[in-house]
Chain A
Amino acid sequence: MSAGAATRTKAETRFYWSLRLTLAGLVVELGSLFGLQHPLGFMAFAAFGCTLVALGVVLFFISLFAIPPAAEAPTETE
């Protein structure tokens, strides 16, 4: 746990989660490209890769628009 994590706002926490989710989705997509000629490659991409990236993007927009920055207070530590 870092000192930075202790003072993160909700928006920042969501932002960092969106980074992780999107990164995980892209890792799955990259892996699925190696299984391009196999149905499981497509399923991994569609079921996990796309879903994770979509969640990441949605969370990013929530972190941008959901809470006005001035109204935020720092959250608990992670």
Chain B
Amino acid sequence: MSKFLSVEPVAILVMLSMGVIVLLILRPTLIHSPGGRALAVIALFALPVASVRAGFNLHYESTKTTSFCLSCHVMEPYGESLMVADESSLPAAHFQNGRIDRKVACFTCHTQYTLFGDLNAKLNGLTHLWVYYTGQTPERIELYSPYQNRECLYCHAGARRFEEIHVADMPELVSNGIKCMDCHTTAHDVAGASAAEKWKPSIQELLEVRP
């Protein structure tokens, strides 16, 4: 993940693009030569397109990070619920025990593992931005649709311990006949998260310092 979030190469590419454009602004006569026209194509097509593409990738990947999700105030209780000292809490158990990549914890469980799942998640994210900045955030935040076993099975299916325990239920789990959440009931306990006992390290430490 981190290899996608290296800002420096993108910043250098953008500054290089800007440098060539500034050169053409300061020395406009350059474009009258064949080499100058080639430079114009590089300055006004190749480099800007490459810069925007690289910038888009960087921004796109950064929108998957836990820090990005928790940068909205309404998500703070959900961030706190990742740190509660309660083994029965699914998000806390996954986050604290490193069962998911902490840097992309929210996205890992809340994307849909389908062809357009990531795209849908991002389009929903744009809706969230609109709702947040126009002050229409609902009192109670709910999922768009009931949580699908598919999202759990994306990681758990095939894991030895999981299959040994759930072998009898696998057909029904795969078909959503029974829901994972029917038994593992504690998702984000946002109401009790702030008062609950927490794991000692701060969430910032976990996201920024520890691997």
Contact call B18/A26, Cβ cutoff below 8 A: yes
Contact call B44/A19, Cβ cutoff below 8 A: yes
Question: Which residues of chain A are within 8 angstroms of B25 by Cβ–Cβ distance?
Answer: 16, 19-20, 23
- Residue count of chain A within 8 Å CB distance of chain B: 33
What does the 1/0 interface line of A4-37 toward B look like (CB < 8 Å)? 1000000010011011101101110110110011
B11 nearest in chain A by CB position: A33
Q: Cβ of A43 < 8 Å from any Cβ of B?
A: yes
Q: Cβ of B178 < 8 Å from any Cβ of A?
A: no
Question: Which residues of chain B are within 8 angstroms of A23 by Cβ–Cβ distance?
Answer: 18, 21-22, 25
Given contacts A49-B52, A49-B55, contact A38 B11 (CB under 8 A): no
What does the 1/0 interface line of A25-67 toward B look like (CB < 8 Å)? 1110110110011110111011001100110110011000000
- Summarize B's interface: helix, strand, loop or mixed: helix
Question: Which residues of chain B are within 8 angstroms of A54 by Cβ–Cβ distance?
Answer: 52
Residue pairs across A and B with CB atoms within 8 Å: the count is 93
Contact call A60/B45, Cβ cutoff below 8 A: yes
* Tier of interface size on chain B: 35 or more
Contact call B56/A50, Cβ cutoff below 8 A: yes
Contact call A16/B62, Cβ cutoff below 8 A: no
Please tell me which stretch of B66-74, B87-95, B108-116 contacts chain A, meaning at least 4 of its Cβ atoms lie within 8 angstroms of it: B66-74
Question: Which residues of chain A are within 8 angstroms of B40 by Cβ–Cβ distance?
Answer: 15, 60
- Expressed in whole angstroms, the minimum distance between the Cβ of B85 and any Cβ of chain A is 27
Contact call B59/A4, Cβ cutoff below 8 A: no
The distance in angstroms between the C-alpha atoms of A4 and B55, with both chains bound, is: 35
Contact call B11/A30, Cβ cutoff below 8 A: yes
- Expressed in whole angstroms, the minimum distance between the Cβ of B167 and any Cβ of chain A is 42
- Expressed in whole angstroms, the minimum distance between the Cβ of A49 and any Cβ of chain B is 7
Contact call B48/A53, Cβ cutoff below 8 A: yes
Contact call A19/B24, Cβ cutoff below 8 A: yes
The distance in angstroms between the C-alpha atoms of A32 and B25, with both chains bound, is: 24
Question: Which residues of chain B are within 8 angstroms of A60 by Cβ–Cβ distance?
Answer: 40, 44-45
The distance in angstroms between the C-alpha atoms of A29 and B50, with both chains bound, is: 12
The distance in angstroms between the C-alpha atoms of A27 and B15, with both chains bound, is: 9
Q: Cβ of B58 < 8 Å from any Cβ of A?
A: yes
10 of the cross-chain contacts (CB-CB < 8 Å) are A26-B48, A30-B18, A37-B67, A38-B71, A39-B71, A42-B59, A49-B52, A50-B56, A57-B48, A60-B44
Chain A residues proximal to chain B, CB less than 8 Å: 4, 12, 15-16, 18-20, 22-23, 25-27, 29-30, 32-33, 36-39, 41-43, 45-46, 49-50, 53-54, 56-57, 60-61
Nearest first, the 8 A-B pairs at minimum CB distance are: A60-B44, A23-B21, A36-B62, A42-B59, A37-B67, A53-B48, A29-B55, A30-B14
